[in-house]
Every structure is written in C-alpha cells, then in structure tokens.
Amino acid sequence: MQRDQQIFDLIGQELQRQRHGIELIASENFTSLQVMQAMGNVMTNKYAEGYPGRRYYAGCEIVDQSEQLAIDRAKQIFGAAYVNVQPHSGAQANAAVMLAILQPGDKILGLDLSMGGHLTHGSAVNYSGKLYQPHFYGVNKETGLVEYDKMEEIANREKPKLIVCGASAYSRDWDYKRIRQIADQVGAFVLADIAHPAGLIAKGLLNSPFAHCHFVTTTTHKTLRGPRGGMIMMGADFENPFGLKTPKGEIRMMSSLIDTAVFPGIQGGPLEHVIAAKAVSFFEILSDDYTVYANQILKNAQAMAKSFVDKGYQIISGGTDNHLMLIDLRNKNISGKKAEQVLVQADITANKNMVPFDDKSAFITSGIRLGVPAITTRGLKEEHMGQIVDWVDQLLMDADNETLIKGIRGEVNNFMKQFPLYPELG
C-alpha cells in the first residue's frame, strides 16, 4: 500500500512544533508514549456497541477485558462506585447526563460562559442552551470568586432540575458541599464537571465532588494526561432521588439510565482503542510518579501566578488553587487576541479568553488563560516559571517589535531543548 506522505509529513511537523515551543494552553498536555501506542492499535477495528458482557456484536471478549480494566482503574483512582468510560469527549459526557435526567425545556443552572464556565453548561450556542432552559450564576466583580449566595438565590427562584458546577477558566477550588445544600433545597441534581482539575482531585490536592454531587464528568486529557475522551462517574448509585420523573417513570437505577443515555442515546460503537489508552493513563495515575507530577503542577502554577502579580498583572481572583490562571490584560493595554498572536509568533502557545464583566467580544477578549500541566510534563519546575513570565511580559509590552519576537523565539526554542519531548520518536 502506498504511504500517505503528505499526512505523515504534517504529523512530523506537529511533533516539531510541540517540541520547540512552550505549551501554556490549560486544557492541553502531553501523553506518555505508551498512551499513544495504545491509541494506535488493532482495537480500532472492533465494533463493540453495548457494554462489557452486554454487547450487540460477537468477538468482544478481549475488548470487554480492556474496557473493564479502564472502569476498575478509574473507580480506584476516584473512589467511585460507577464509571462509564465510553464518552468520546467531556461535552458528550455532559450531554449524556442531561439526556438521562432532563426533559427538553427543563431548567438548568450553570456558571456563565463569560465568567469562566463552559459551553455545555447552558450556552445559547450549545445543545445545553437550546434543548434546556438555562440560567446562570457568576463570580463577584471585586473578588473573582463564585457567588454561592447568588447561586442559592437563583436556584430558589427558578427551581432548576440540574445545577452544574465546574469551569473552563476558573482558578479556585469549589465548595461542593454548599452546592449540594442549595440543590437539596430545590430538589435538583448536581453535576460536577471536573474536566480541568480532575488530575489534582485524583491525588487529593483539591476538594472531591464525589461525596456531594450526584454525577461527575471529566475529560481524560488535560490534567489526567490521557487520550482525548470523556468519562462519567458517580460516587454512589442511588434510587429515585427527590421523586424526579423520567419518560419511563421513576428513576430506579441511575447507572443503567446513564449507560443507556451514552449508548444508544448519544453514541454508537465506543472507541475501544481510545478506551485502551484511557486504561493505560489510569495505570499511570495510580503510580507514585503521578503523585509527584500533580504536586509539581501546583508548585508551578503558584510560582507562575506570583511572577505575573509581581509584574503588575491582574489575575482574576488574585491567584490560583489549581493548574491555571486567567489574566485580565486591560491594565496592560493589549487585547487577548493580540496577546495570543504575539505569543504564538514566539512559539509560546496560550489562548485568548474573556474575563468576567468583559467589555470586549469573545473574538477579541480582554484576557488570556494560561496553564502549566503540559510544561510540567516536560519537566519544568517552579524555578523556570519566572523566565517564562519574563518572556511573556516582554512580548506583551512590545507586541509589534518583530526583532524582539524573533529573538525570544530563538531563546524559547533553545531553552526547550533541555526538556526533550518523545526522544524515542527520533
């Protein structure tokens, strides 16, 4: 068979891009070589609609074992009673939970996208805002912290069927106990979307949602450092909570309802090669090495945040409890879009991001979001964060200086040679 040289050349170019640059996108990471090897395997050839021991196709005896390993390891990591590893993404994990427990037009309450929330938490352009009736809570304008009192006020007024907590650009921990208390007042379910901090929660470095939230969803990349994909978990199975109804009557077994929502509800055959890679990443998370890694994420994030604050940058909420930070650039007279562009030219990758109460559009933004999981995987430590912040600061303060950009790009490329990425790939 003739080799597709064009695509393999592009893959090689992407490898070089990743090797040469500083990756500060908070939702990105670098998997291990064995996770990538598990993704590129013969399990991609197998159709396996259904679940281990309950498939609609023959020949699933081996993929059953692989998927069950992924489930069992995820349960061990999080102390969960139920896990579904089939969702193709975090967005689909959220969609499945909503399909399982909501009817079109039901009210949901989530963190406003403009204040750090996620598209799937009720945004008008997303299925969650089109199928359901979304309401939103936000953060305090002065502190940048989630306003739980306001969440309670809105919940008592609107009586949502589901309260969603979690964010894509919020740097502080969550009070899951308080959220559950609010939900219990109005008879709502609680969904914790931990896609970003899951790896830190796995090692006990942030509050765990499992004792308080009915459902927990996550991606398997980001801080979990696995393949791209999603997962749904419950701390305990439960029956007929709050007497809520579904089209089939009272909820009797939530795990069965969630399984059915994933397949055949929103997906067909699962990606068994990706599920195998999830199992490999879960194996790695159970190791002592990953514990060291998770702790280093916190050290790096806090060191980076301090360096930015020392240079007069305004971090929303004043700092970080997790792996990321959201910086309001308005006092630096540069937009998020312009900041992203100049950083990319210097081989530093970050993303523009709206900040709470932003006066610019989502296409321009007043902020940038930065995260440290990927550079921590590369081996950078807290003593390196000051140098990265110096480069970022120089670029943002002189964003049209092409000579400066070129010079810093060379420094970045040379600096990252100390931290080789996939040397096994040649």
Active-site residue set: 47, 49, 193, 219, 222, 228
Instruction: Give exposure, 308-338, as e/b (b: 16+ Cβ within 10 Å).
Output: bbeeebbbbbebbbbbbbbbbbeebebbbbb
Annotated binding-site residue? 363: yes
Dist. CA 121–CA 193, nearest whole Å: 9
**Mapping DSSP to helix (H, G, I), strand (E, B) and coil, where does residue 71 land?**
helix
Dist. CA 163–CA 330, nearest whole Å: 32
Q: Is the dihedral of CA 315, 316, 320, 322 positive or negative?
A: negative
Q: How far apart are the first and last CA of the chain?
A: 24
Other C-beta atoms lying within 10 Å of the C-beta of residue 283: 19
Annotated binding-site residue? 113: yes
Annotated binding-site residue? 10: no
- Determine if residue 204 is left, alpha or beta; phi over 0 gives left, psi from -120 to 50 gives alpha, anything else beta: left
Q: Is residue 59 a contact partner of residue 184, using CB atoms and an 8 Å limit?
A: no
Dist. CA 84–CA 263, nearest whole Å: 10
* DSSP line for 356-395: TT-SS-TTT-SEEEEE-HHHHHHT--HHHHHHHHHHHHHH
Cα Dmax for the chain: 68
Q: Is residue 267 a contact partner of residue 260, using CB atoms and an 8 Å limit?
A: no
Dist. CA 48–CA 55, nearest whole Å: 6
Tell me which residue of 82, 46, 51, 49 sits closest to 64, measured CA to CA: 51
Dist. CA 119–CA 318, nearest whole Å: 25
**Mapping DSSP to helix (H, G, I), strand (E, B) and coil, where does residue 82 land?**
strand
Annotated binding-site residue? 395: no
Annotated binding-site residue? 117: yes
Annotated binding-site residue? 362: yes
Dist. CA 374–CA 27, nearest whole Å: 9
Strands (E), 251-291: none
Binding-site residues from annotation for (6S)-5,6,7,8-tetrahydrofolate:
113, 117-119, 361-363
